[in-house]
Amino acid sequence: MMGLVLWYNPKARVGMIWCEDQGPLAFLGPEVDLPDGHGALDCGDQLTFSIEIREGIRFVRDVVEIVSGAGARDPRAILAGYHSTREAESHLNVVA
């Protein structure tokens, strides 16, 4: 699955990810290892990952790839930026 980092706390190593299927957000926990060379994530980064559903909640299980984003801090700005550049630059697809 692909998604966008909407929020990330580098000290706690936790975050919330918007998913390309526009379903519920996915929680990124401190147990998830990022690919080599990435110590932290920034808001707006694009991720390729797998998810696991536990008790009805989506959790990021493995992060395969990270593409640096625009660095916006407001989730609405991140998604608006994604939609405005989707055809030219983004690897994500809106499905609904």
**What span, in angstroms and rounded, lies between the C-alpha atoms of 79 and 37?**
25
Q: Is 3.40.50.1820 the CATH classification of the domain at 2-85?
A: no
User: CA-CA distances (angstroms) from residue 72 to 18, 69, 77?
Assistant: 14, 8, 6
State pTM to two decimals. 0.73
Report residue 42 as tokens: 């920034």
Spatial neighbors of 29 by CB under 8 A, at least 6 apart, are 13, 14, 59, 60
What pLDDT does residue 39 have?
81
What pLDDT does residue 60 have?
97
Mean pLDDT by 10 residues, the chain (96 residues): 93 94 95 87 92 96 88 66 56 56
Q: How many CB atoms lie within 10 A of CB 80?
A: 12
What pLDDT does residue 71 have?
61
Residue type, 30: P
